[in-house]
């Protein structure tokens, strides 16, 4: 099944606006509830603050993040199909990457990575919530090293966007967690209502924002790459040719054969 997506820029603008809206509703609602103590602004206000809270599970931000990762997996699979149809290299790499993002989407929704902490795979004392990082780090490192050659075969702009998205995501998913461990941040979420919870939520919001922006940057890189390849196929351009140049060539219409004859007759 093929999904007709909007142009990459249009879709990314929508995604960025959605992320901004989520964080405004999350911070704004919780500030009213925890910071100012207004618990009855609207009916079921406590439920709504949880529904939009970027640090909670099984709510709108979690579903959005899961859907975003799944959308990236779809785009990666479409690139694999395009690469395979052209008979180019790395089709298998694209498919594996698509499966990885589908697995990340499932993990985001089900929070499977939290099992390492609950099962006590690694005992780190108060920082035991970081045990999933210790377990996943070797696999992620091996995967990244194995994809270095693949990364450098991409166009420079795509490569930079992919790298930037990866840095943002890791900064949020790992960096903020490690910083929290060093500064003694309570990451349990079981913080008493009030100013203490707002401090916790601000730190968690930075973490979630970095993760979301990282995935959106990666998605923009991949959707733009797919869009350019599809335009090249549509316009009959050679792989790697600029889409704008191919479009300009396609607009050139051949001169009718009788134009030259009329000109010769007029000259006589």
Three-state SS sequence of the chain: CCCCCCCHHHHHHHHHHHHHHHHHHHHHHHHHHHHCCCCCCCCCHHHHHHHCCCCCCCCHHHHHHHHHHHHHHHHHHHHHHHHHHHCCCCHHHHHHHHHHHHHHHHHHHHCHHHHHHHCCCCCCHHHHHHHHHHHHHHHHHHHHHHCHHHHHCCCHHHHHHHHHHHHHHHHHHHHHHHHHHHHCCCCCCCCCCCHHHHHHHHHHHHHHHHHHHHHHHHHHHHHHHHHHHHHHHHHCCCCCCCHHHHHHHHCCCCCCHHHHHHHHHHHC
Q: Of 242 and 162, which is predicted with more confidence?
A: 162
pLDDT given at position 20: 97
Average model confidence (pLDDT) across the chain = 81
On whether the pTM is more than 0.75, the answer is yes
For the chain, how far is it from start to end, CA to CA, in angstroms?
Answer: 61
Output b/e per residue, 227-261; b: 16+ Cβ within 10 A: bbbebbeebebeeeeebeebeeeeeeeeeeeeeee
Rounded Cα gap, residues 93 and 80, in angstroms: 8
Contacts of 90 (CB under 8 A, 6+ apart): 83, 150, 153
Tens digits of residue pLDDT in 3-55: 788 899 999 999 999 999 999 999 999 999 888 888 888 889 989 999 999 98
pLDDT given at position 254: 47
In the numeric block, which tokens belong to residue 103?
């697995």
Is the pLDDT assigned to residue 147 strictly greater than 90? yes
- Greatest mean pLDDT among 75-79, 166-170, 257-261: 75-79
Rounded Cα gap, residues 187 and 202, in angstroms: 12
Rounded Cα gap, residues 98 and 91, in angstroms: 11
Is the pLDDT assigned to residue 266 strictly greater than 50? no
Beta-carbon count within 10 A of 156 CB: 8
In percent, the amount of the chain with pLDDT more than 70 equals 73
Question: CA-based angle 113:56:52, to the nearest 5?
Answer: 140
Contact (Cβ atoms closer than 8 angstroms) between residue 117 and residue 129: yes
Tens digits of residue pLDDT in 159-195: 999 999 999 998 888 877 776 655 545 555 455 666 7
Contact (Cβ atoms closer than 8 angstroms) between residue 60 and residue 51: yes
């Amino acid at each position: 099944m093929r999904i007709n997506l909007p142009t990459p820029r249009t879709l990314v603008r929508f995604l960025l606006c959605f992320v901004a809206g989520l964080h405004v509703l999350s911070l704004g609602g919780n500030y009213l509830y925890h910071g100012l103590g207004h618990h009855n602004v609207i009916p079921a206000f406590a439920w709504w603050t949880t529904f939009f809270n970027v640090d909670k599970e099984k709510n709108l931000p979690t579903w959005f993040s899961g859907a975003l990762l799944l959308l990236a997996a779809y785009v990666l699979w479409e690139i694999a199909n395009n690469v395979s149809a052209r008979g180019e290299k790395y089709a298998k790499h694209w498919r594996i990457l698509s499966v990885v993002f589908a697995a990340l989407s499932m993990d985001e929704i089900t929070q499977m990575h939290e099992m390492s902490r609950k099962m006590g795979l690694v005992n780190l004392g108060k920082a035991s919530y970081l045990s999933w990082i210790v377990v996943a780090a070797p696999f992620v490192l091996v995967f990244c090293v194995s994809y270095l050659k693949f990364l450098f075969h991409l166009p420079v702009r795509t490569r930079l966007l992919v790298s930037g998205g990866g840095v943002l995501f890791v900064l949020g998913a790992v960096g903020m967690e490690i910083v929290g461990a060093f500064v003694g941040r309570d990451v349990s979420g079981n913080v008493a209502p009030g100013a203490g919870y707002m401090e916790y939520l601000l730190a968690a919001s930075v973490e979630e924002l970095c993760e979301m922006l990282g995935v959106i940057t990666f998605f923009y890189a991949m959707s733009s790459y797919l869009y350019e390849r599809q335009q090249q196929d549509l316009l009959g351009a050679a792989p790697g040719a600029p889409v704008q140049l191919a479009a300009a060539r396609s607009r050139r219409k051949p001169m009718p054969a009788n134009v030259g004859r009329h000109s010769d007759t007029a000259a006589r």
